[in-house]
Amino acid sequence: QERTANILILIHSDNGGTYELAKELAKGIETNKNVHAVIKQVKASSNPKLKIIPVASIDELANYDGIAFGSPVYFGNISTGMSEFLAKTVNLWTNHTLEGKPATVFMSAGSGAGKELALQAFWNSLAVHGMVLVSNGIRGYENIDKTIPQGNSVLGTTSLASLKNVERPSKSERYLAELQGKNFAKTTLALKGTFDNTEKMQQTEKTVDINEALKQKNIVLPNLPKPVGNYELFSRSGNLVFINQVSLKDGKVLNPGKVGVNVTEEQAKEATKQTMLNIIAILKEAVGGDLNKVKKCVQLIGVFNTTDNYTQHALLMNAASDLTVEIFGEKGKHTRNTQGAYSLPVGSSVSIQAIFEVE
């Protein structure tokens, strides 16, 4: 059977210069008929030229055989958009997910000031991930037009987008990007299968320390709320822990009221997240301070104070579900019910009942 490979071209672009280079890389990659390239971006763009590009999720990076990263040069560095995306890859990093995967980088610059620093900065982050960095060297240098400034660099192709004596990317820059794509496809195909991390990832999955992961993700659990009636914060029966909360924050209700009247959907989501944080703080207490003892989130029920005709309860509840999965990974996946209510205690816009299985 013929070997095939899938390459992600992951870009951030403001004005489309990076996207132009990405298309050339894709063309170069796909001159190898066994290698497929897909261009995605790190966040949605309102630029009409870039709107159609799908947005990549963090977790999908694991699914490709190689990744080409492209961004504008910002002050001799990678762009803020790219930097923000990379900052969310801590889980991939600690799980060794990208180790041994080939990576290559390209950038759209203005004048080109600091372009090599920026390419180097890209490499820094990808080296921390343990990726195999594929350089350009002087490939193609003999064929480029040297009568005008060009974005060639040994680390990766750039384009000098603000030098408009010719259309940018220039013909030579496009040629270099295509060549980079061709070479990257060759390396990716050759390395495929030599970096199978599934076994290692499964091992680390088991040993992921949830308490540490919370710190790394900057998730701070609130102080325990005080009961406002004759009840306990949690109740344990066998291996199940039952917890019910509203959106109390520092003794006050966060974003109280009715969704669609005096609470926006964004505020309701914020309140929902706060409620879930309260629940997880209580859960931590219930397992003696060690969240690694949580085996599964079994079920969540979210009740929202809404108008009669409101239907987007599921959307609001995602704020709680997403947080639970972010913290507990696979163990955080749960069944769920959502409902609307005419009024809720202490004016909260949301109330959540949670059931967890623990050790």
For ligand FMN, the binding residues (CB under 6 A) are: 13-18, 72-76, 108-115, 161
From residue 292, how far is each of 123, 209, 276 by CA, in Å?
34, 6, 17
Best CA proximity match to 303, nearest among 261, 262, 271: 271
- Say if residue 165 is exposed, middle or buried (CB neighbours under 10 Å; 0-12, 13-18, 19+): exposed
Cβ-based nearer residue to ligand FMN, 14 or 285? 14
Question: Which residues does residue 160 pair with via DSSP β-bridges, in sequence order?
Answer: 109
Cβ-based nearer residue to ligand FMN, 162 or 211? 162
Q: How many helices (H) and strands (E) does the chain have?
A: 9, 14
Give min distance, CB of 121 to ligand FMN, in A. 11
Cβ-based nearer residue to ligand FMN, 16 or 130? 16
Cβ-based nearer residue to ligand FMN, 49 or 217? 49
HEC assignment per residue over 248-300 = EECCEECCCCCECCCECHHHHHHHHHHHHHHHHHHHHHHCCCCHHHEEEEEEE
Q: What is the DSSP secondary structure assignment for residue 196, as one 8-state letter?
A: -
Give min distance, CB of 218 to ligand FMN, in A. 25
From residue 34, how far is each of 37, 59, 182, 275, 307 by CA, in Å?
10, 24, 12, 50, 55
Q: Strands 5-11 and 35-41: what pairing?
A: parallel
Q: What is the largest CA-CA distance in the chain?
A: 83
Q: Enumerate residues 6+ apart whose C-beta is below 8 A from 164.
A: none
Cβ-based nearer residue to ligand FMN, 14 or 99? 14
Structure token pair of residue 72: 């504008």
Cβ-based nearer residue to ligand FMN, 32 or 79? 79
Give min distance, CB of 270 to ligand FMN, in A. 30
Cβ-based nearer residue to ligand FMN, 71 or 274? 71
Cβ-based nearer residue to ligand FMN, 50 or 291? 50
Element (H, E) at 94: helix 90-94
Give min distance, CB of 7 to ligand FMN, in A. 19
Cβ-based nearer residue to ligand FMN, 74 or 234? 74
Cβ-based nearer residue to ligand FMN, 37 or 319? 37
Give min distance, CB of 124 to ligand FMN, in A. 16
Cα(23)–Cα(5) distance, rounded to whole angstroms?
18
Give min distance, CB of 13 to ligand FMN, in A. 3
Element (H, E) at 328: helix 313-328
Give min distance, CB of 83 to ligand FMN, in A. 12
From residue 37, how far is each of 1, 54, 66, 182 by CA, in Å?
20, 13, 10, 11
Element (H, E) at 182: helix 171-191
Give min distance, CB of 135 to ligand FMN, in A. 20
Kindly provide the b/e burial profile for residues 169-194, where b requires at least 16 CB atoms within 10 angstroms of the residue's own CB. bbebbbbbbbbbbbbbbbbbbebbee
Give min distance, CB of 81 to ligand FMN, in A. 9
Give min distance, CB of 253 to ligand FMN, in A. 40
